[in-house]
Structure 1
Amino acid sequence: MTKEIAVKNITDEVLVRVQKMEQNKELELPSNYSVSNALKSAYLILRETQTRDKRPVLEACTKESICNSLLEMAVQGLNPVKNQCYFIAYGDKLQLQRSYMGTIAITKRLDDVEDVKGFAIYKDDKLEFGFDIATGKQTIKNYEPSLNRDPNNLIGAMALVYGKDKILHLEYMTMEQIRSAWSQGATGGNSPAHKKFPDQMAIKTVINRSCKYYANTSDDDFVSSMLEKSIEAVDEEVAETIEINAAKEDFEEDVVEVNPDTGEIIEEDAKAPF
């Protein structure tokens, strides 16, 4: 039996295990989530995924780690084809890393959440906050984006958690706060992604914080525990480089580990695509 066929069998095993967990009321998947389709997508993606030394992960990683990463994907209700998660090899162990898109998807499973959006704020934008004394929440009194989107004029970012007819949570971070968070990572906020796309990286940072905070105030312990467990390990740089690589030339990427405090990828001598 070839390694590829063996891994295909693993996806079948994971599907059976998830179905049993559902039957035993140990797991409740989102109504719009097809675990079968997600596993099929994961299998196809894993066939093309390589380790840092360019070995296929299906050959380099253990069966147990492949099985565990696929099971974690299914339990979190994520789909790799939607860029909600990625598979990364650490030695001979395959691990699942959730992207910030996956964090948004999980947050939207809270009963009262309709959507989560982030906005980069520039110095010429008109942004005025208010405060609702009855709820103890910060509010937006006015927001008028300017046409000046020069990265040098980036002053912060905000994220909004939307309910059906109101804003459930507002999170604002200044660039000083954002860079302070970035500085805790191995790259110190100086990775190619941070330098080239500071607005997008700032949005991801504030979205992660807003989702974690709001989930922790909810009554859904399952969603809260998932976000608490790994929201700070979102692979922003991996996601960014994958997105960039889809539109640009090939590049070599070295991934070592993810900083659990900042969500930054700890990398060595990575060759950037720009």
Structure 2
Amino acid sequence: MSTKNQLQVVKEETLTSVQNRIAQLQEGGFKLPANYSPENALQSAWLMLQDVQTRDKKPALEACSKNSIAMALFKMVQLGLNPAKTQCYFIPYGNDLTMVTSYFGQVMIAKRAGLKDVKAEVIREGEDFEFKTEQDGRKVLINHGQSFKTLGNKILGAYCIITYEDGVQDMDLMTIDDIKQSWQQGATKGASPAHKNFEGEMAKRTVTNRAIKMFINSSDDSVLMDDDAPRISPTEAYVEHTIAENANKKELTMDVDAEEVKDEEAENQKLYEEAMAEEGQSQMTGPGF
């Protein structure tokens, strides 16, 4: 079988398995965000994955395991993200593919969770930056004086301002040392092409994640749902579906080889945790992975 035909088979099997899993969760009460098309997102992701390569320049779709590809795509759909809108991207770590939420994806998730606005900016050498800490512990920006001449200067830190529905604002602030220390917790240790070539954007992503993670983590998965949907998490939906299917106790997995799952499951989970720990982001994994 040609490489093109093999990829087509993998595509059909993988996308079908992800769609089936989401459908099963929906039967249990899990709701995707309004106006989100998982089919369109999966097609966009697959097109982009054809250009993703490993460190040794091998196509990710050939080098990465089917199970890790399915997990990455499931994670994307579960969070209601679309790579065509630069809300997430895919990174291969050896034979495993991971999905990482972008800065834009983080902002979108935060707004779904109830935040009115999220803005992040980097602080560069030569810029005037002032802030104060209120009595309730909130940090408030007083002034950030920027100029065209400082745009390429060394980054000293970054901050993120979140605005709640009532208009109250809070700011999280990190020095560049804090940010790089956070990067050290990740699988690439801050040495990925993204960190090297887009340091400013990655710095904003890091501080944004820390600023909104507490708000999102306390939302009880409501970020994934319609406003009128019952507040049920993916895990709860899985349980409901399992009970409805006559209390089937067998673990539900993707349509991949059982031995492959058994051998790679622990390592995949470790790699994923390392990748997401880069910004301290809590996991929102689906059942059976």
TM range (shorter): 0.5 to 0.7
Which residue identity does 2:16 align to in structure 1? D
Deviations 1:139-184 (A, max 9, x none): 2334443444154454322111123462443111233433444466
Q: Distance in 2 between matches of 1:115 and 1:75?
A: 22
Larger RCO (CA under 8 A, 6+ residues apart): 2
Equivalent pair of 1:88/1:97 in contact (CA under 8 Å): yes
Partner residue of 1:130 out of 110, 123, 132? 132
Q: What TM-score do the two structures reach when normalised by structure 1?
A: 0.67
- CA offset at residue 70 of structure 1? 1.6
Q: Distance in 2 between matches of 1:10 and 1:193?
A: 27
Q: Distance in 2 between matches of 1:140 and 1:45?
A: 38
- CA offset at residue 263 of structure 1? 5.3
- CA offset at residue 35 of structure 1? 0.8
Which residue identity does 2:160 align to in structure 1? A
- CA offset at residue 192 of structure 1? 6.5
Give the unaligned 5+ runs of structure 2.
225-232, 235-270, 281-289
Equivalent pair of 1:110/1:220 in contact (CA under 8 Å): no
- CA offset at residue 109 of structure 1? 1.6
Give the unaligned 5+ runs of structure 1.
227-255, 265-274
Equivalent pair of 2:123/2:157 in contact (CA under 8 Å): yes
1:14 is aligned to 18
Partner residue of 2:101 out of 73, 82, 98? 98
Which residue identity does 2:207 align to in structure 1? V
Equivalent pair of 1:169/1:214 in contact (CA under 8 Å): no
Equivalent pair of 1:156/1:174 in contact (CA under 8 Å): yes
Distance change in 2, residues 1:116/1:187 (3 Å): same
2:278 is aligned to 262
1:87 is aligned to 90
Equivalent pair of 1:160/1:167 in contact (CA under 8 Å): no
Count of aligned pairs: 231
Q: Distance in 2 between matches of 1:144 and 1:36?
A: 44
2:60 is aligned to 57
Deviations 1:25-80 (A, max 9, x none): 0x221113211110111222233333334433333333333222221211121112
Q: Distance in 2 between matches of 1:185 and 1:24?
A: 34
Is residue 44 of structure 1 aligned with residue 60 of structure 2?
no
2:163 is aligned to 162
Q: What TM-score do the two structures reach when normalised by structure 2?
A: 0.64
- CA offset at residue 17 of structure 1? 2.7
| Alignment root-mean-square deviation, CA | 3.5
